[in-house]
């Protein structure tokens, strides 16, 4: 079998704060195969975005204090800034969260889409701009040759996000990291952007890491899913298996909070009680145990290990490991 395109092993990223050291990413491990779409989900503050930024060395002012990030067998953590810059934007591209502020307002959209092509492919300005127009057309910008000369303020949120996708895919990277690519977009534009990402991933053969709060997006887009809580992976596996039979109470709570078309009229939504923990003062044992309705005595004293459950499933939960069925069957 071919080696995974990306292997993250025991990644730990910390930040200094007035309250002490915050471990935003705590021993995270996962793999991404070539052409695969991996979803990363969790509440705000769970470590999703910092994990993505740590992969490409943009976690500053945070520091990577442990672990490895192997991309095609090469440890990105050990690369110099110049070496990492050669990888970032060419072999690994990232679409950032907010399309409304991701583009520089003082440069034309075409100039910005062409910039990575000039830097990494050493194309002339004319050739890079022609390629930028081609990419804008591929991502669905109408009259791409004319709109490439316009400034970001003339683009809608959906068009800016399309331009960001075109910028990310211009160099035909092997890995695309999309961090909340549909933030601040209405549902119609969200669907268009997600369809575009899926099509372009198929056309270019690009592996994708999709970071989102939207579990419906993960269900429709991702081959596998990772669930994060308090900087740690608490569950992972094939998307269909995780959604059908969650093995961690936190995953079960996330899925239970989604409105369902088959729910009875007036039936209240399920909610996860409490709030995410302060990462500078995590509780002892499992970080989720103060909010967990299934907790057992061991949950408040021992940190659970991420154990294999078969069929590619992993879960870090003493309740599951003790044989308790979360559905009560």
- Could you tell me if 118 and 129 are in contact, meaning their C-beta atoms sit under 8 angstroms apart? no
pLDDT tens series, the chain, 329 aa = 678 999 999 999 999 988 889 999 999 999 999 989 999 999 999 999 999 999 999 998 999 999 999 999 999 999 999 999 999 989 999 988 777 788 999 999 999 999 999 999 899 999 999 999 999 998 889 999 999 999 999 998 889 988 998 898 888 899 999 998 877 677 888 888 888 888 877 887 889 999 998 888 899 899 999 999 999 999 999 999 999 999 999 999 999 888 777 777 887 778 899 999 999 999 999 999 999 999 999 999 999 999 998 889 999 999 998 877 777 55
What per-residue confidence (pLDDT) applies to 310?
Answer: 84
Over the range 281-314, which residues count as b (16 or more CB within 10 Å of their CB) and which as e? ebeebbbbbebbebbeeebeeeebebeebeeebb
What per-residue confidence (pLDDT) applies to 271?
Answer: 85
What per-residue confidence (pLDDT) applies to 264?
Answer: 79
What per-residue confidence (pLDDT) applies to 196?
Answer: 82
**pTM reported for the whole predicted model:** 0.91
The secondary structure of residue 305, as a DSSP letter, is P
Residues 6+ apart with CB under 8 A from 325: none
- Could you tell me if 200 and 161 are in contact, meaning their C-beta atoms sit under 8 angstroms apart? no
What per-residue confidence (pLDDT) applies to 134?
Answer: 93
What are phi and psi for residue 281, nearest 5 degrees?
A: -140, 65
Listing DSSP states for 175-238 in one string gives: EEEEESTTTT--HHHHHHHHHHHHHHHHHHT-EEEEE-S-HHHHHHH-SEEEEEETTEEEEEEE
List of domains in the chain = 1-98+206-259+270-329 (3.40.50.300)
Joined tokens for residue 126: 């004319």
Q: How far apart are CA 230 and CA 173, in angstroms?
A: 30
Classify residue 107 as left (phi > 0), alpha (psi -120 to 50) or beta.
beta
Q: Which among 98, 143, 135, 86 is positioned nearest to 113, based on CA atoms?
A: 135
Instruction: Order across the sheet with 307-310: list the strands.
Output: 92-95, 175-179, 207-211, 37-41, 224-229, 232-238, 313-315, 307-310
SS3 state at 5: coil
What per-residue confidence (pLDDT) applies to 290?
Answer: 95
Classify residue 163 as left (phi > 0), alpha (psi -120 to 50) or beta.
alpha
What per-residue confidence (pLDDT) applies to 328?
Answer: 56
- Could you tell me if 318 and 300 are in contact, meaning their C-beta atoms sit under 8 angstroms apart? no
- Could you tell me if 319 and 296 are in contact, meaning their C-beta atoms sit under 8 angstroms apart? yes
What per-residue confidence (pLDDT) applies to 194?
Answer: 85
Q: Can you tell me which residue has the tokens 């004293």?
A: 301
Q: Which among 241, 174, 254, 172 is positioned nearest to 212, based on CA atoms?
A: 254
């Amino acid at each position: 079998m071919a080696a995974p395109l990306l292997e993250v092993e025991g990644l730990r990223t910390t930040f200094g704060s007035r309250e002490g050291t915050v471990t935003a990413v705590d021993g995270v491990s996962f793999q991404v195969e070539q052409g695969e779409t991996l979803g990363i989900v969790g509440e705000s503050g769970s470590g999703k975005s910092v994990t993505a930024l740590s992969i490409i060395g943009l976690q500053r002012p945070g520091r990577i204090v442990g672990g490895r990030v192997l991309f095609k067998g090469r440890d990105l953590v050990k690369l110099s800034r110049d070496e990492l810059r050669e990888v970032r934007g060419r072999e690994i591209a990232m679409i950032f969260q907010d399309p409304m502020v991701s583009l520089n307002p003082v440069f034309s959209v075409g100039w910005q889409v062409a910039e990575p092509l000039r830097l990494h492919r050493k194309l002339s300005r004319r050739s890079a701009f022609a390629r930028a127009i081609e990419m804008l057309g591929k991502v669905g910008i109408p009259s791409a040759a004319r709109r490439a000369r316009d400034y970001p303020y003339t683009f809608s949120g959906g068009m800016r996000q399309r331009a960001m996708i075109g910028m990310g895919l211009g160099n035909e990277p092997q890995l695309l990291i999309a961090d909340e690519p549909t933030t601040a977009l209405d549902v119609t534009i969200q669907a268009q952007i997600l369809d575009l990402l899926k099509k372009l991933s198929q056309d270019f053969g690009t592996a994708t890491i999709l970071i989102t709060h939207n579990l419906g997006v993960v269900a429709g887009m991702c081959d596998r899913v990772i669930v994060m809580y308090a900087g740690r992976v608490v569950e992972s596996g094939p998307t269909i298996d995780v959604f059908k039979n969650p093995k961690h109470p936190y995953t079960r709570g996330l899925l239970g909070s989604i409105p369902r078309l088959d729910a009875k009229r007036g039936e209240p939504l399920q909610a996860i009680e409490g709030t995410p923990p302060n990462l500078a003062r995590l509780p002892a044992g499992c970080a989720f145990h103060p909010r967990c309705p299934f907790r057992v005595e061991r949950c408040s004293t021992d940190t659970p290990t991420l154990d294999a459950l078969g069929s590619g499933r992993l879960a870090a939960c003493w309740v599951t490991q003790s044989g308790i069925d979360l559905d009560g069957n």
